[in-house]
Amino acid sequence: MKTKLIQEEIKYIGSQLSPHWIYKNFNIQGDAIVAFKGECEVKLTEMVDIEDVINNEPIYSKYMLSFITEQFGVELVEGVFRQRLLICIIKELLEEKGVFVVRNGDDLMINGRKLSVSIATKSITSVLIHTGLNILSEGAPVKASGLSSELGINDIDEFALEVMKRYAEEIEDIKSASTKVRGV
């Protein structure tokens, strides 16, 4: 799996969660995960999570670290497993930095405040995952926590690179583990 930290700020509006967005914009073909920073504003018309649409819960963050991954040859249930793996890797890394994190499905909470948004979906060609972590908590429509504003994680690029590295290694290790066993 290829990884890339995108230096330019990108406002995440939901349309980036589309097939080949990574390939078309960054010339990275195949399984990949990218990270970028910027404002996040997903209106109900762009929402993939139907439950959020029904509950009239648009997403907003003044400044967010976003991860988008596209993976091919994967069905949606496996994509959701991979989404949860990404969330667990983020939780593990935060805990190594001394932050107590509660995970509920694909949500990460700090002291009862929401740190993350995440969704996995299936396109005609691939599984797509977006996971966003508030960098700043101010202005969110829910009680929110932020990597910099509350958790003291100020080198967001370093944090993003480590998350992507661990995720890519874990996916490759899972694939490798599946090729070294004898069927019974």
What distance in Å separates the CA atoms of residue 84 and residue 106, rounded to the nearest whole number?
6
Enumerate residue ranges in the chain where pLDDT < 70: none
Using DSSP bridges, classify how beta strands 107-110 and 113-114 pair: parallel, antiparallel or unpaired. Answer: antiparallel
Query: What is the pLDDT at residue 173?
Result: 97
Query: What is the pLDDT at residue 127?
Result: 98
**What domains can be seen in the chain, in order of their start residue?**
2-173 (3.30.930.10)
pTM of the model: 0.95
- Count Cβ atoms within 10 A of the Cβ of residue 143 and give its class: 0-12 exposed, 13-18 middle, 19 or more buried: exposed
Three-point CA angle 25, 81, 173, nearest 5°: 80
* Three-state DSSP state, 173: helix
% of the chain at pLDDT higher than 90 = 88
Query: What is the pLDDT at residue 87?
Result: 98
- DSSP letter at 97 equals T
Query: What is the pLDDT at residue 139?
Result: 84
Query: Long-range contact list for 38-41, CB < 8 A, 24+ apart?
Result: 38/9, 38/10, 38/11, 38/12, 38/63, 38/64, 38/66, 39/9, 39/11, 39/12, 39/63, 39/64, 40/11, 40/12, 40/13, 40/64, 40/66, 40/117, 40/132, 41/11, 41/12, 41/13
Three-point CA angle 81, 19, 136, nearest 5°: 65
Query: What is the pLDDT at residue 47?
Result: 87
pLDDT in tens, 95-130: 999 999 999 999 999 999 999 999 999 999 999 999
